[in-house]
Structure 1
Amino acid sequence: MDPWTLWGFLTIVIFVFSLVMMVAGIFSAYFGAGKNRAYGGALFAIGFVVCVIWAYLVGYSSIEPFCSVPAWDVMYDALINLIAVLIGALIAIGIFLVLVLKS
């Protein structure tokens, strides 16, 4: 596997992980009660710290494997691909539901 592809893949995994951790932490802190609110805060903090550290490593550090990753381009391509996948899946599911419900 090409090193750029491996680091690009890892960048997507880390950023999505941190984003989902922050969103889950917000929901848990807002809708939870008792310990769940504290767990939500911890989830958000972990997601935020991981995101900031990885963004620094791929964006501003001069550490060799990280500085060769074009983070913005990788995330932009991932977002465009995700939107394309969702549109294709929704069209296929829509056609399937129309055919199933008409029969």
Structure 2
Amino acid sequence: MYGFTSLSRLAIPSAIPAQNFGNFVTVMLLTFSIFMVLAGAFTSYFGTGKSRAVGAVLLVVGIIVAVVWLSAAQIYGYTNPNLGLVIWGAFLSIVAAIIGAVIAVLVFLFAIMKT
């Protein structure tokens, strides 16, 4: 399934399966679109003047990217039967990373405030 080429003492995969690349692109684009929608909504709600317009553009771009990618994946035949599981796993990974980062920042701030 995977071919490995020895490069010095480091073994690197010589080929990445197309399905994994498709999953990578799907997760990347959907994560991008989710964060664009969130950033756009935040900027539109709390911004003033031009920043509200920028927030609206971010929101629309996020929605367009998600709709275009999911439509193209459906039309051109990239339909992973486990796509929902891939997206859910990626979502949980992102949430876990954010929680870990927040905990690390809180520990850092606590340590700084006590010194």
Q: Judge same fold: TM > 0.5, yes or no.
A: yes
What's the % identity of the aligned pairs? 33
Q: CA RMSD in A?
A: 3.0
Q: 1:82 to 1:28 in 2, by over 3 A?
A: closer
Q: 1:33 to 1:9 in 2, by over 3 A?
A: same
Q: Which residue pairs with 1:63 in the alignment?
A: 76
Q: 1:35 to 1:92 in 2, by over 3 A?
A: closer
- Higher relative contact order (CA closer than 8 Å, sequence separation 6+): 1
Please say if residues 4 and 69 of structure 1, whose CA atoms lie closer than 8 Å, have aligned partners that are also in contact: no
In terms of fraction of residues, the more helix-rich structure is 1
User: For structure 1, which runs of at least 5 residues remain unmatched after alignment?
Assistant: 98-103
Q: 2:30 aligns with which of 15, 18, 23?
A: 15
The more displaced of 11-20 and 71-80 is 71-80
User: For structure 2, which runs of at least 5 residues remain unmatched after alignment?
Assistant: 1-15, 110-115
- Please list the CA deviations of residues 73-99 of structure 1 after superposition, one character each: whole Å capped at 9, or x if unmatched: 2112223444555677788889999xx
Which amino acid in structure 1 is aligned with residue 85 of structure 2?
Answer: D
Aligned pairs (5 A) from 1:20-35: 20-35=35-50
Q: 1:87 to 1:21 in 2, by over 3 A?
A: closer
TM-score normalised by L of structure 1: 0.71
Task: Work out whether 1:76 is the aligned partner of 2:88.
Answer: yes
Aligned equivalents of 1:93, 1:83: Cα separation in 2: 15
Aligned equivalents of 1:86, 1:27: Cα separation in 2: 18
Q: 1:94 to 1:12 in 2, by over 3 A?
A: same
The more displaced of 81-90 and 71-80 is 81-90
In terms of fraction of residues, the more strand-rich structure is 2
